Amino acid sequence: MAAFIAKPFTCADPTKEISLGVALSWIADNLRSDIIQPVMCKHGLEHFDPNQWYPTQTLLDIVRDLYNYPGTIEALVAIGKKSAEDYPFGPEVQSLEDAVLAFNEAHHAIHHGISPEQGFLVKRTSPTSLIVVNNNPWPGELIFGILWTFGRRFSRNQNFEVIPLDNDDFGRAVFEVVWGD
């Protein structure tokens, strides 16, 4: 079990940054930009440089506002789906299993200096099943969207499912990712 337990929508260290080239494009260009753009403007990000790093807490504030806005759960799933389309994996990631196993490392690549224990705890439960625990401040709906699109992106015409499970004892979202014929 990790000693670090992420708190929803709260960056553990306010000096940490996220690559907006990756992160904000996920938000600005997703399927529900009609809802998201006004919230980005509220936080001063109506215009941003995709090549810059920005405070992670600012992006978490945007996502928190969306989470609390009526009817935006689908927007958070859409953000997750959009982010997974271009998630920064190396060429060795060729399957859904590879993507889920590499998810934590890729997550750390777009966040400057976060705790090594922050991210995704992945456990194999069978040859075609992994459990993913969301140990970061991003909401489970966003993570569901990411995992679902990893399935679309890497399943190679295999069947796959992303199954939300009950939250763990710390309130963290837990998912089972299953694949096969």
Per-residue confidence band for 1, with pLDDT thresholds at 50, 70 and 90: very low
User: Encoding tokens for residue 31?
Assistant: 């399927």
Tell me the per-residue pLDDT of 9-67, one tens digit each, with 9 for 90 and over: 998 888 888 876 656 555 656 556 777 788 888 998 877 777 788 888 988 998 899 88
Pairing between β-strand 129-135 and β-strand 174-180 as defined by DSSP bridges: antiparallel
Containing structural domain, residue 9: 1-181
Residue type, 101: L
User: Encoding tokens for residue 133?
Assistant: 């625990």
Question: In the prediction, which pLDDT does 130 show?
Answer: 97
The model carries a pTM of: 0.88
Q: Taking phi first (over 0 means left), then psi (-120 to 50 degrees means alpha), and beta for anything else, what does residue 49 get?
A: beta
Can you give the three-state secondary structure of the chain, one letter per residue? CCCCCCECCECCCCCCEEEHHHHHHHHHCCCCHHHHHHHHHHCCCCCCCCCCEEEHHHHHHHHHHHHHCCCCHHHHHHHHHHHHHCCCCCCCCCCHHHHHHHHHHHHHHCEECCCCCCEEEEEEEECCEEEEEEECCCCHHHHHHHHHHHHHHHCCCCEEEEEEECCCCCCCCEEEEEEEC
Tell me the per-residue pLDDT of 74-118, one tens digit each, with 9 for 90 and over: 878 888 888 888 788 899 999 999 999 999 998 888 888 788 888
Residues 36, 63: Cα–Cα separation, whole Å: 9
Residues 39, 34: Cα–Cα separation, whole Å: 10
Q: Which CATH number fits the domain that encloses residue 24?
A: 3.90.1520.10
> What's the domain count of the chain?
1
